[in-house]
């Protein structure tokens, strides 16, 4: 009687084969049985040396020598995980997990995350350019008018001052040129209008948290979510709204890092009432002074050592582009709370309804 015939586990192996896992049974150095998924991966017959049978898969022969229970990677790029467990005093079950699908899914997640972050950064730069153009255009225009007025007065009082008049002409020309550059910047940034589509705010919150999960874990911040069970449909640009939410969450993390409480907390609450969806992002950090609150949404006003003071100004601009509103309140227990409200879209799309059923 050969080893394949004497094993008491052949029926069990066949049954487990229906689950789609690649399994084999070893008796010492011999392969006594293998199921169909394993045979599709490594064509071979039971009854021979396991080491010979395992040779086609890079690293599997070495994995057979690993201690029981230890997970060992094999395959050219480590795409399989081998593990052996004891079935009885003689027989060992070998299982091969195919990690390719999981690794592909993970890579796709990383690519999506990087793509979203890149788009968010590009959007921030675009909105920053719009704010800078708006803020610089006024003083540049005033400077040009002052220079023109000065040139007229000088020409009337000292018509022979040709060098000074030529210098003023050049100054006006340079200021006008700067104004034209700013005009082009504004034209470019204002061309970035919201890409209108129907969105689920609940899903958008989860996607945004997925982009910051590492930051939340690193800072050991407790996350408190109060979200509706059903989809909350709004009309807008997913990247723009996600940029706002991520900015508010990062501000909360910065506040908790600056003056860390005993139990750092970030709470996200989504409330739907009176035809609008209101999202609240709050923290139990140190809060802000009344003086800071008065300048909270003004460009170039920041309490951060290296901050430019454009984040909240950009966020307010993005929310207003969606016919919404962004504002600030104080938490009763201390800390900050930022709110933004958007009109709710009547009737969620079918895809949203399917997620909640």
Nearest partner of 95 among 168, 171, 19, judged by Cα: 19
Q: Say what the pTM is.
A: 0.50
Give the residue range(s) of CATH 1.10.287.130 domains in the chain.
102-190
Q: Tell me how far apart the alpha carbons of residues 318 and 122 are, in angstroms, rounded to a whole number.
A: 14
Highest mean pLDDT among 35-39, 203-207, 295-299, 351-355: 203-207
**What's the number of CA atoms in the CB half-sphere (13 Å) around residue 218?**
7
Is 3-98 in CATH node 3.40.50.720? Answer: no
Tokens 């009176």, located at residue: 274
Q: Tell me how far apart the alpha carbons of residues 180 and 176 are, in angstroms, rounded to a whole number.
A: 6
Q: Helix axis angle, 100-157 relative to 238-258, nearest 10°?
A: 90
Give the residue range(s) of CATH 3.30.450.20 domains in the chain.
3-98
Statement: residue 351 has pLDDT above 50: no
- pLDDT score at 164: 83
Q: Tell me how far apart the alpha carbons of residues 282 and 226 are, in angstroms, rounded to a whole number.
A: 12
- The residue with greater pLDDT, 119 or 287, is 287
How are beta strands 222-226 and 265-273 bridged, if at all? Answer: parallel
Which DSSP string corresponds to 42-58?
Answer: S---TTSBHHHHHTTST
Tokens 């169909």, located at residue: 36
Q: Tell me how far apart the alpha carbons of residues 256 and 286 are, in angstroms, rounded to a whole number.
A: 7
3 state DSSP class of 121: helix
Statement: residue 342 has pLDDT above 90: yes
- Nearest 5°: phi and psi at 302? -140, 145
- pLDDT score at 354: 41
Nearest partner of 260 among 302, 222, 305, judged by Cα: 222
Which DSSP string corresponds to 283-321?
Answer: E-S----HHHHHTTTSTT--SSTT--S-HHHHHHHHHHH
Q: Where are the alpha helices (DSSP H) in the chain?
A: 3-6, 10-17, 36-41, 50-54, 60-63, 100-157, 162-190, 201-211, 213-218, 238-258, 290-294, 311-321, 350-356
- pLDDT score at 43: 81
- pLDDT score at 110: 67
Question: What CATH number belongs to 197-356?
Answer: 3.30.565.10
74-90 average pLDDT score: 86
Statement: residue 10 has pLDDT above 80: no
Question: What CATH number belongs to 102-190?
Answer: 1.10.287.130
Q: What percent of the chain has pLDDT over 90?
A: 17
């Amino acid at each position: 009687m050969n080893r394949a015939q004497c094993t008491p586990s052949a029926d069990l192996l066949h049954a487990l084969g229906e689950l789609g896992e690649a399994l084999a049974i070893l008796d010492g150095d011999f392969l006594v049985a293998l199921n169909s998924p394993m045979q599709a991966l490594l064509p071979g017959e039971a009854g021979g040396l396991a080491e010979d049978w395992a040779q086609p898969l890079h690293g599997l022969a070495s994995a057979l020598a690993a201690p029981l229970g230890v997970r060992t990677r094999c395959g050219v790029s480590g795409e399989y995980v081998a593990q052996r467990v004891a079935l009885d005093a003689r027989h060992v079950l070998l299982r091969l997990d195919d990690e390719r699908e999981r690794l592909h899914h993970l890579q796709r997640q990383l690519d999506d995350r990087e793509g979203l972050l890149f788009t968010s950064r590009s959007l921030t730069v675009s909105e920053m350019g719009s704010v800078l153009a708006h803020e610089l255009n006024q003083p540049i225009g005033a400077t040009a008018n002052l220079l023109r007025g000065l040139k007229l007065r000088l020409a009337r009082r000292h018509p022979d001052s040709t060098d000074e008049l030529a210098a003023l002409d050049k100054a006006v020309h340079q200021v006008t040129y700067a104004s034209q550059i700013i005009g082009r910047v504004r034209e470019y940034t204002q061309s970035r209008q919201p890409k209108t589509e129907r969105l689920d705010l609940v899903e958008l919150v989860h996607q945004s948290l997925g982009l910051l999960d590492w930051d939340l874990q690193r800072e050991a911040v407790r996350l408190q979510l109060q979200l509706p069970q059903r989809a909350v449909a709004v009309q807008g640009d997913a990247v723009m709204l996600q940029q706002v939410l991520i900015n508010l969450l990062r501000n909360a993390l910065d506040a908790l890092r600056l003056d860390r409480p005993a139990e750092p907390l970030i709470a996200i609450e989504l409330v739907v009432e009176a035809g609008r969806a209101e999202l609240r992002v709050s923290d139990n950090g140190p809060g802000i002074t009344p003086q800071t609150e008065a300048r909270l949404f003004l460009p170039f006003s920041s309490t951060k050592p290296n901050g430019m003071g454009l984040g909240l100004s950009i966020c307010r601009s993005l929310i207003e582009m969606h016919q919404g509103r962004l504002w600030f309140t104080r938490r009763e227990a201390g800390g900050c709370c930022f709110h933004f409200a958007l009109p709710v879209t009547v009737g969620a799309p079918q895809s949203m309804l399917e997620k909640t059923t």
